[in-house]
Amino acid sequence: MSLAGLGRNWGRIGARLAVAGFLALAPAFAAEAGQVNDLNELVRQLEADLRAGDAAAENDAMSTGALGTGPVPMAPGTPPGAGGAGVTSIRLGDHGDQTRFVMEFAGENLADYRIFTLADPYRVVIDIKGVPFNLAETPAVKSLGVVTGYRYGRFEADTWRVVIDTGQPVEVARNFVLDPQSGFGRRVVLDLAPTDMASFMRTAGLPEGAPDTAAAAAAELAAVAAVPISPPAQRIERRRIVVIDPGHGGVDPGALGRSGVKEKNVTLAFARQFAEELRATGRYDVHLTRDSDIFIPLRERVTIARRKQADLFISVHADAIQRPDVRGLSVYTLSETASDAEAAALARKENQSDLIAGLDLQGETPEVTGILIDLAQRETKNYSSRFARSLVDYASRSTKTLDPAHRFAGFVVLKAPDVPSVLVELGFLTNHEDEKLLTSSTWRASMAKTMTRAVDRYFGDRMAEMAN
Ligand SMILES: [Zn+2]
């Protein structure tokens, strides 16, 4: 790709101005873009940075959270040029009134990145385009200074995203790129400093050119409206279509097990197995909302189900809670009034996914309303509950279930007006036995068979009704 060509689109290079613009990872690019003033600023920062000590010493300091404490056995990322390109390491450093966030890259490939901030909750988002994340090890320190935590993962096909939670308004006081040296690869460095709410709000928001959530929501509504709403009972004649939705993914790992197992991987492995099992019957067309480790917004999952004209939508999740003794499978269907406090809390947690991934939900449009939808929805809820009961019935014969196992709450992902939808929590990753089951291919295979029987039963019953 041509740097000069991209430069026309990016425009803004430099420290504070970098917010809301895509930057090239190579500082040399700034000169090509003709941003002389900003380049000078960048060079000043780089020089100041290098004066503070050589880059390696600074990185050591960052990894310990203290300056000048001598060498620390922190493995640097893949040396430049060796191995594939990608982000190989993330580090946090405490620099007094600022918190430093460093991403190290391997290889000489250029990558584009952009930085922006979002409010409610306070987040700093970094998008990296064109190179993957290949972290050698899970970063040990995940909160320091103004940073209360962060996560990363694939956000779109060629974009990876880091979302940094800050717990308070912050400004990106500086951001710059360090060239490879002293055994370290190229680094993108952000210095975050506390700021007041008013200043934060002045710069917060999606960068120019990023998909606007309000526009996306409107487009989605249009897309949903384009699929005619037909009550489920009228669609029984054709071959059944089942959409399986592996929960979370990419930048949103979902729940975490005690041994570090991630919900997003557990749900994807199960969904694939379940799909295979359903297809093997020859009775179903099966689609997955995602078949890789990528982030999909909640509403997009609903849209996929509707576009595929699904007869059944099954969202697969795994939970995690404080009490390690709690275990068992549960099935949720949509209700504005939650069946109990735990169901309400769970729905709140699952509905956070878009926030966790750094989507700006301001301007989010309300649900489609209308008499036709209300009617379809009532019928849909009925069928959803029937399938949930069938699922609980079959699952409880072969695995531990919560009591009660069928619960209700306002999950965003269950809101298709005309697709019977359930959300299955396979179990608790925080429970030792459940975690063992959920990560076992044997259990996955047997539970996929069990759930296939429940699906058979559900459609079998409906066929019988049609015949009468
Ligand atoms: Zn989940």
The alpha carbon of 227 and the centre of ligand 1 are apart by a number of angstroms equal to 27
CA 267 / ligand 1 centre spacing (Å):
9
User: Which of 139-153, 375-389, 440-454 has the highest mean predicted lDDT (pLDDT)?
Assistant: 440-454
pLDDT at 53 over 80: no
Do residues 166 and 138 lie in contact, with contact meaning Cβ atoms separated by under 8 Å? Answer: no
CB atoms within 10 A of CB 441: 10
pLDDT band at 279 (very low <50, low <70, confident <90, very high): very high
Q: Check residue 388 and give its pLDDT.
A: 97
The rounded Å distance from CA 350 to ligand 1 centre is 5
Q: What is the pLDDT of residue 20?
A: 37
Q: In sequence order, which residues have a C-beta less than 8 Å from that of residue 204 and are 6 or more positions away?
A: 116, 117, 118, 119
For residue 436, the model assigns a pLDDT of 95
Query: What is the 83 CA–ligand 1 centroid distance (Å)?
Result: 34
Same CATH topology for 3-203 and 213-467: the answer is no
Instruction: Calculate the CA 51 to chain-centre distance.
Output: 38
Domain range 3-203, CATH class: mainly beta
CA distances from 31 to 13, 136, 185, 189 (A): 10, 33, 21, 19
pLDDT score for 45: 52
Number of H helices, E strands in the chain: 13, 15
pLDDT for position 37: 45
Q: How far is the CA of 201 from the centre of ligand 1 (A)?
A: 30
- Ligand 1 center–CA 254 separation, angstroms: 5
Quick check: 1 pLDDT over 70? no
Residue 309 has pLDDT above 70, yes or no: yes
* CATH number for the domain whose boundaries are 213-467: 3.40.630.40
Q: What is the pLDDT of residue 216?
A: 57
195, 169 contact by CB (below 8 A): yes
Distance (angstroms) between ligand 1 centre and the Cα of 173 equals: 35
| Average confidence (pLDDT) over 270-294 | 96
Taking the centre of ligand 1 as the mean of its atom positions, its distance from the CA of residue 450, in whole angstroms, is: 21
426: pLDDT confidence band, cut at 50, 70 and 90?
A: very high
User: What is the per-residue burial (b if ≥16 Cβ within 10 Å, else e) of 67-92?
Assistant: beeeeeeeebbbebeeeebbbbbbbb
Residue type, 24: A
27-41, 99-113, 293-307: range with lowest mean pLDDT: 27-41
- Please give the model's pTM, rounded to 2 decimal places: 0.72
Ligand 1 midpoint to CA 36 (Å): 48
Q: How does pLDDT run across 185-203, given as a tens digit for each residue?
A: 888 899 999 999 888 888 8
CA of 263 to the centre of ligand 1 (A): 7
- CA of 219 from ligand 1 middle (Å) equals 26
User: Is residue 28's pLDDT more than 50?
Assistant: no
Q: Angle 298-307/213-226 helices, nearest 10 degrees? A: 20
Q: Any idea which of 102-106, 299-303, 368-372 has the lowest mean pLDDT? A: 368-372
Q: Is the pLDDT at 395 greater than 80, yes or no? A: yes
Check whether 102 has a pLDDT greater than 50: yes
For ligand 1, the distance from its centroid to the CA atom of residue 329, given in whole angstroms, is 13
Q: Are 86 and 130 in contact (CB under 8 A)?
A: no
Examine the pLDDT at 289 and tell me if it is beyond 80: yes
CA of 395 to the centre of ligand 1 (A): 19
Structure-model confidence comparison of residues 213 and 390, the more confident one: 390
- Sketch the domain layout of the chain as residue ranges: 3-203, 213-467
The pLDDT of residue 205: 81
Find the Cα–Cα–Cα–Cα dihedral 397, 387, 410, 221, rounded to 10°: 140
Mean pLDDT of 91-95: 90
User: In a 3-state reduction of DSSP, which class is residue 275?
Assistant: helix
Categorize the per-residue pLDDT at 177 as very low, low, confident or very high, splitting at 50, 70 and 90.
Answer: confident
Token pair of 370 as six digits: 């209308």
50 alpha carbon – ligand 1 mean position (Å): 44
What is the rounded distance in angstroms from the CA atom of residue 179 to the CA atom of residue 354?
A: 34
Q: What percent of the chain has pLDDT over 90?
A: 45
Least confident of 318-332, 354-368, 379-393, 395-409: 354-368
Higher-confidence residue of 267 and 373: namely 267
pLDDT for 188 equals 87
Distance 346 CA to ligand 1 centre (A): 9
| Token pair 């897309």: residue | 223
Q: How far is the CA of 424 from the centre of ligand 1 (A)?
A: 9
Residue 346 has pLDDT above 90, yes or no: yes
- 317 CA distance to ligand 1 centroid (A)? 4
- Residue 392 Cα to ligand 1 midpoint, Å, equals 18
* Cα 412 to ligand 1 centre (Å): 12
Q: How far is the CA of 19 from the centre of ligand 1 (A)?
A: 31
Write down the pLDDT at residue 275: 98
pLDDT over 90 (residue 69): no
Q: How many A from CA of 240 to the centre of ligand 1?
A: 26
CA of 247 to the centre of ligand 1 (A): 5
